[in-house]
Amino acid sequence: MAERSLATVDPEIAELIKAEERRQADTVKLIPSENYVSRAVLEATGTVLTNKYSEGYPGRRYYEGQQVIDQIETLAIERAKALFGVRHANVQPYSGSPANLAVYTAFANPGDTVMGMGLPFGGHLTHGWTVSVTGKWFNAVRYGVRRDTGRIDMDEVRELALQHRPKLIFAGGTAIPRTIDFGAFAEIAREVGAVLVADIAHIAGLVVGGAHPTPVGHADVISTTTHKTLRGPRGAMLLTDSDEYAAALNKAVFPGLQGGPHNHTTAAIAVALKEAATEEFKAYAHQVVANARALAEELLARGFDLVSGGTDNHLILIDLTSKGVAGKPAAQALDRAGLEANYNTVPFDPRKPFDPSGLRIGTPSVTSRGMREPEMRQIAAWMDEVITALAKGDPEETIARVHREVSELTAKFPTPGLDC
């Protein structure tokens, strides 16, 4: 079969990819779970490694021809162990949700009691929420945050744990703007005999960069994605210091939940882990936090209500109730202005999840482009202008002007991994 380029074989898809490249280059990306990978990670993702099936683990495969793949996966494993400071790492989970499902498979049976942060308070679907299989197959107990502070109520966590004696306790989530006290969670888990799982999908890059306390030494198992603040491909990892837990997790991932790993993703994870071990990455992680704090301070100064009053990490959760607009129309208006955010529930939200009161924003992507505190203050000003115009009912002129100004800003900051 003759070799032909993507543009020749499928010009429609090729043009859509180009359009997405232009959109990403022309947008201030504020969704905290998104980032830009480096050119090196992007190159590793699109390689012939996708042609190879590799069920099993290095040295113990069910297919021949693994001489190179075993070396690649071993590199990824060793780099993960060194970077996070753990004894065992599994780099095969396809994404964060399957990684968390592997934890359930390893340590719980259907019907067992598990505990995690409730979705409306910042938890993840796979921590036992009702619409997830983890909420259907397990008896899920959910903790939240204090109404007066917006922070995790550790007294409630302990009371619920003592009352329900869960097999698993999840610490972490998707909309937590404050530092997670893994030590306090570990004390509670030990008291009730639970396995503590630190889900650091959002903050893994901050952890290895020294910008957030590590769960290592506290959590029995660490689950993380490899994108977000870690700036890798769309994959996941499971980490532990326990030989026994490592064996259970490996069996849960394969053959428990999936077949062969995505070898091109494994290679890209290895590249991202090598990048994350540099001093440059450490500086990046701290700048992510500095940018988030600058953005939060400017939003507060402009009258925005922030859940917990600010941020300690990469993420800001905004309650728009006082602004007279809901999260969904605000996110859509900001998107038209070139400011990409996502609508999100806030704690004790009276609105429905698909039309909530809040916005979730973050600084990993803008920091990857080299933006710093002055740009954060400008972004806050643009957000304020768009949302104020939206509340007045005639935002389109403001949206058009802001989008032009956003394009002028993004032109000054190259998009990592792209030519635009």
Q: 40-61 pLDDT, tens per residue?
A: 999 999 999 999 999 999 999 9
Does 36 qualify as catalytic in the annotation? no
Residues 112, 134: Cα–Cα separation, whole Å:
10
Rounded mean pLDDT, 167-174:
97
pLDDT at 418: 84
pLDDT tens digits, one per residue of 55-90: 999 999 999 999 999 999 999 999 999 999 999 999
Delineate the domains of the chain, giving CATH numbers in brackets.
43-276 (3.40.640.10), 290-410 (3.90.1150.10)
Does 199 qualify as catalytic in the annotation? yes
pLDDT of 321 above 90: yes
Does 394 qualify as catalytic in the annotation? no
pLDDT of 420 above 80: no
Q: Which of 199, 220, 312, 349 is catalytic?
A: 199
Residue 118 pLDDT grade (very low, low, confident, very high; cuts 50, 70, 90)? very high
Please, what is the Cα angle at 376 between 419 and 234, to 5 degrees? 50
pLDDT of 93 above 70: yes
pLDDT of 419 above 80: no
Q: Which of 29, 167, 178, 228 is catalytic?
A: 228
pLDDT tens digits, one per residue of 360-408: 999 999 999 999 999 999 999 999 999 999 999 999 999 999 999 999 9
Query: What are 236's strand-pairing partners?
Result: 225
Residue 417 pLDDT grade (very low, low, confident, very high; cuts 50, 70, 90)? confident
Omega before residue 255 within 30° of 0, cis:
yes
Q: Which of 61, 151, 234, 401 is catalytic?
A: 234
pLDDT tens digits, one per residue of 248-270: 999 999 999 999 999 999 999 99
Say what percent of the chain tops pLDDT 90.
98
Residue 3 pLDDT grade (very low, low, confident, very high; cuts 50, 70, 90)? confident
Binding residues for (6S)-5,6,7,8-tetrahydrofolate: 119, 123-125, 244
Q: Which of 21, 26, 53, 151 is catalytic?
A: 53
pLDDT at 247: 98
Does 4 qualify as catalytic in the annotation? no
pLDDT at 2: 66
Binding residues: 119, 123-125, 244
Rounded to two decimals, the pTM is 0.96
pLDDT tens digits, one per residue of 143-169: 999 999 999 999 999 999 999 999 999
Does 228 qualify as catalytic in the annotation? yes
* Per-residue three-class SS string for the chain: CCCCCHHHHCHHHHHHHHHHHHHHHCCEECCCCCCCCCHHHHHHHCCHHHHCCCCEECCEECCCCCHHHHHHHHHHHHHHHHHHCCCEEECCCCCHHHHHHHHHHHHCCCCCEEEEECHHHCCCHHHCCCCCHHHHHCEEEEECECCCCCCECHHHHHHHHHHHCCCEEEECCCCCCCCCCHHHHHHHHHHHCCEEEEECCCCHHHHHCCCCCCCCCCCCEEEEECCHHHCCCCCEEEEECCHHHHHHHHHHHHHHHCCCCCHHHHHHHHHHHHHHCCHHHHHHHHHHHHHHHHHHHHHHHCCCEEHHHCCCCCEEEEECHHHCCCHHHHHHHHHHCCEECEEECCCCCCCCCCCCCEEEEECHHHHHCCCCHHHHHHHHHHHHHHHHHHHHCCCHHHHHHHHHHHHHHHCCCCCCCCCC
Q: Are 231 and 367 in contact (CB under 8 A)?
A: no
Residue 196 pLDDT grade (very low, low, confident, very high; cuts 50, 70, 90)? very high
Residue 349 pLDDT grade (very low, low, confident, very high; cuts 50, 70, 90)? very high
Does 55 qualify as catalytic in the annotation? yes
pLDDT tens digits, one per residue of 213-262: 999 999 999 999 999 999 999 999 999 999 999 999 999 999 999 999 99
